[in-house]
Structure formats: structure tokens, C-alpha cells
Structure 1
Amino acid sequence: MDKVGIGVIGCGAIGRIHMERFQKVPNAQVVAVADVDQAALDRAKAEYGVSKAYQDYGDLLARKDVDAVSVCLPNFLHCPVTVDAFEAGKHVLCEKPTATHTDEAIRMIEAGEKAGRKLMIGLCQRFNGSSQVLKAHIESGELGEIYYAKCGYLRRSGIPGMGGWFTTQAQSGAGPIYDIGVHALDLTLWLMDNFDPESVLAMSYAKFGPSGKGSGGWATPVPDLRGGTREFRG
């Protein structure tokens, strides 16, 4: 069986996890990586045996042996890099969240359809063993009609200190709902097999980040709590 050639764009913590996982897939091989940080490239080459490394991801996309790419970049770069990958004829596995704005997500989907290539977002909670078991019980009818669900994701990491894109609103998008909330929401919608909302009530709070009580007195405008209620058709 021919191996699928993989290119990983972004060699930070998430990018390295992707490389590690691809090494466990018999018919996949990471053939090239890209990152603006030379030290990150050197680490990827040393730890994962990747021989081709580029600071310009366009050079990676130009390779004929790259069939698909993992986009492991800050949220605000998901859309432009994914669109470029589709235009280069590659399939795309993009880290969550899809993008920072709805119009960007639509642009990514349309670019994939135009190119005839697949787009998958890294919402991995669906594939956990417990999620698969619960899905099977629901589909069998054993649990009856599922008409209400409640989900949440709470992470206690303290008030963020001075950071980069992660604590910058324009680059991260929307704080916890984009970072961890997407997992809880996607899993719930998938389990219920209903992605068609009739109404949405949402709220957002930024109480701790802007307080200036984080590391070094630094403040961030990124929300620290988001929540909402959805009513679905059907």
C-alpha cells in the first residue's frame, strides 16, 4: 500500500503531537514540516526524523510528495493557510477551532469543495472510546429519545500571564469557547445528531483577565468564561 505523504505546518506542541501520532499510522509518513522558528524545525527533524524542513510553508505545499497537511498554527492563521493548501491540491487536517470568524470557516469549506479535497477539523473527542460507546447506546435506542443535553468544560489554569496569540483577542478569537468549549459542544451535537439550531442565547464574561492580577500585572481582554443555551429544530 502506498503511503500518504504528510506535511505538518507548525512545529509547536500540537504540531509535535501530530507528528508523533502519524508515526503510528502504517500508511502515512511525515515527509516535510514548516515553521518560521528554525529551532522548532531543528527539534522536529531531530525527534521525528523528518529530513525536509522549511521556514516558508509555501515551499512545503509545492512538494509533489505531500498529499495532505496538518495545519497546527494559531487560530487566526487557520483560514489563509488552509485555503493555500487546497489551492495547492492538498487535503487538510486543521486544528480546532475551524477559524476565528464564520466567514473564514465558510471560505475554507468552499475552497476545499472547489479543489475537490477533504477538510477535517481536529475535534478528536468524538473518537474517544467512551464517546464511541455512548454513541452506540444512543443509536441503538437503548437510552430512548435524547431531547436535552448539558455540557461544560472547566480548566483551572489561573489568570493568564503575558503571552502571545493565545491571549490576544484578534488572534485567538474568543478565549475558552474556541479553545476548550469547541470540544464539549461538538461532542454533544454529534451525540445528539442535531446541528440545526432554532435559537441561541449566549453570554460572555471577561472578569479575571482584564483585572491586571496575572503574572507581572499584565492584563488580557480575552474572555475567561463563555456559555449559552441552544434550542434545536426537530
Structure 2
Amino acid sequence: MKKNLIKDLSARIGNVSIADAIAQLCELFPGKVVFSTSLGQEDQVITEIIAKNNLPVQIFTLDTGRLFYETYDLLSRTESRYKVKIKPYYPNTSSVENLVADIGINGFYESPENRKSCCYVRKVEPLKRALAGNSIWITGLRSEQSANRSSMSKLEWDEGNQIMKFNPLLDWSMEEMLQYINENKIPYNPLHDKGFVSIGCAPCTRAIEPGEDPRAGRWWWESSKKECGLHIK
């Protein structure tokens, strides 16, 4: 049933603009379409599309408590520019306290297991709360970003979160995205101009060197799939 629904929806929105596709999803699932933004360049593009077209989508972000100052500043500037409210979801206080008591304030550097535990407490669990009760989850994922994302579809079923996920920018190149940002004068994080391609928590993100993989700046001290658990099928 899920496969048939996704197939039908994919055919319905496959040849329309992103704005029209989101509008149709909002009509089909009123009040149950949400967009998660990390304030990255891709997400800023989608926020601009939602705001410009006055689409009834709830925009939310995950505030891990360890973000860059520049990210918080961009959040404020984005709300002011587009006259939208971006709802923050925070990690559970007791879960953070228990995590830090268990592995230490920067224990995520010590092992992939510790890092994944931190990501779960600060990102995965709050995401599940944000998605609960909704039908469509819009993301800013692009297939170029990592090997794991290259196999994704624009509209797919997310088993872990039991929700349909819409990835409207999946086939956009970096060049197309930057051109759209420049043409529409979309505000973005100044860290991008300093070599930070993928921006997450401050302790876990660094700038990358020319020619490095876009995800190389995330959790650079470990060998992994460079994912935090939000977008694993």
C-alpha cells in the first residue's frame, strides 16, 4: 500500500515545480507537512520557496545546544527576512545530563559509538518528536552530498520515522544551488565562504580542503558513513 501511494504521488508531482509539488502535498495532507531545516544552503533554498509561495508548511530546526554562533544568527536573520517562525526542538534535558555523565562533555571524540549516542540524544530523538503525527517530511538532501544519499528517491518511505520523505533538491548540483541562492539573494551561513560545506554542531564540523569530499568536514576524526542517523533508511 505504501509503495503504491508513493508511486502515485511521485507520478503526480514528478513534473511540476518544487513549489507546486509542495502545494499539492499540502492539499493532500493538510496540516501534516513539515520541513526540517539545519540552516544549510539547501535548506535556505527550500525555506525561501515555502515563504515566497506562502505554503502551509511547519518549518522546524533541531537545536542541539552545540551549534555555531553563525547558525543561530542565521536563524534569526531568516525568520526576519521571510517573516516565518522556525520552531526549535531541543534534546531532553535529563538525556543530555545522563549522556555527559556517561561519556563526558566531549566524549564523542573517543569512539563512533559515543558519537552516535550523542547524535541520538541531541538530534535523532528530538527529530522523532518533531515528525510525530505528520505525513510528509520535506528535506534539503542532495544526492551529491554522500554515497548514502545517492541511492535515495525524491519521494520515499522513511522506515525509521514511519513517514513519507520528500527530497525536492535531490538532483540539484552544487552549482545549481549556488546560482539559485545568488539570483534570489538568499541569506546563508558565512561559514560556507570559509570552507565549511556541511555545517552541524561546532565540535563536530571543520572546513574542508579543495578536492575533499563534501562530508569530510563532519566527524573528521573517524571513518564512517558520515551520517548522524537522521537519514538512514
Q: TM-score range by the shorter chain?
A: 0.3 to 0.5
The structure that has the greater radius of gyration is 1
Q: Which has the higher helix share?
A: 2
> Higher relative contact order by CA 8 Å / sep ≥ 6: 1 or 2?
2
When normalised by structure 1's length, the TM-score is 0.35
What TM-score comes out, normalization by structure 2 length? 0.36
Structure in which a larger fraction of residues adopt strand: 1
